[in-house]
Structure 1
Amino acid sequence: MNKRLLHIATLLFIAVFAVGCSADEAEQSHSDNQTQQTEENGNMEEQNEDIVRITISKDHQQEYINEKEIEIDKGAVLMDVLKENFYVKTAPDGQITSIERVAAKEDEEKVWTFTVNDEAVNVDAAAYELSPGDQVSFDLHAQ
């Protein structure tokens, strides 16, 4: 009888030990998955930190023309980024005359203006240094 109790106690101990180890492995696996997901989200945030969004529209955003999210390098200048990613024409004085082949007609008194993060900027696009996360809007409209 004592041998039988010893056998049962041993089997019970092994079963409890196996279940305990299994729970630890599942918890460790769950923890590893959370860590990996957190790292992936962090990497996505890091990638998104170097992104700007440029939107092109017409007549105070009444007509949508194009929009792109663009990865930038530190110190990127707006005009350079614009020309690298859109079809842009400028006048000899540097003023933008056409973006994505959209320009004012000869009898229209419209100009291209831009805002950054919904605020007017008092510097030319050729002199404006972009920051990660900037939202830039170019709009062709009457003055």
Structure 2
Amino acid sequence: MKQLLLIVTAIMMLLAGCGTNETKKPADQPKTEESIREQVTVQITKNNGKEKITEKKVEITDETTVMDVMKENFEIKTEYEDSFITSIEGIEGSQKDKTSWFISVNGEEAMKGAKEITLKPGDSVEFDLHPYE
């Protein structure tokens, strides 16, 4: 009888040690440094950065373009088959005032259109409305 009691006690201790380890779902887990780097920062400004309109951190995937980010995260208007952004968040450039939206990526003025610039994690994109003359 003593042996049976010892065996039962040993089995119960083993089972208690094998309790379930609850794991968090990926959505519940805190963001890792790697997942944070899968983002870009987009800043919308006016007058060469003097007036900040908004700033967002936006998640990207491979082959995400500036135009993709803008269409998915901001209210924009475009011309010339999505080659030229004319309005962001209701703010438009003006021929009368000779103002237009200019794009910079990582501090360098873009020499391509928004749909031709592919972003990498950690990039910083700025759209600034200022005079073109």
The answer, yes or no, to whether TM exceeds 0.5 is yes
| Count of residues paired in the alignment | 103
Tell me which residue corresponds to 1:87. 75
Tell me which residue corresponds to 1:141. 130
Find the partner of 2:90 among 85, 92, 101: 101
Q: Is the 8 A contact 2:48 2:128 kept in 1?
A: yes
Do structure 1's residue 53 and structure 2's residue 38 form an aligned pair?
A: no
User: Distance between the aligned counterparts of 1:126 and 1:84, measured in 2?
Assistant: 13
Aligned-pair distance for 1:49?
1.3
State the identity as a percent. 38
- Which SS does the other structure have where 2:117 is aligned? coil
Moved over 3 A (4+): none
Aligned-pair distance for 1:92?
2.9
Aligned-pair distance for 1:104?
2.4
- Which SS does the other structure have where 2:114 is aligned? coil
Aligned-pair distance for 1:47?
1.0
User: Distance between the aligned counterparts of 1:75 and 1:91, measured in 2?
Assistant: 22
User: Distance between the aligned counterparts of 2:32 and 2:131, measured in 1?
Assistant: 39
Letter in 2 for 1:54: V
Higher helix share: 1
Letter in 2 for 1:83: K
Q: Is the 8 A contact 2:45 2:51 kept in 1?
A: yes
Question: After superposition, where does 1:24-43 map in structure 2 within 5 Å?
Answer: none
User: Distance between the aligned counterparts of 1:104 and 1:76, measured in 2?
Assistant: 25
Q: Runs of 5+ in structure 1 lacking a partner?
A: 1-39
- Which SS does the other structure have where 2:116 is aligned? coil
- When normalised by structure 1's length, the TM-score is 0.67
Aligned-pair distance for 1:105?
3.8
Do structure 1's residue 65 and structure 2's residue 53 form an aligned pair?
A: yes
User: Distance between the aligned counterparts of 1:51 and 1:76, measured in 2?
Assistant: 11
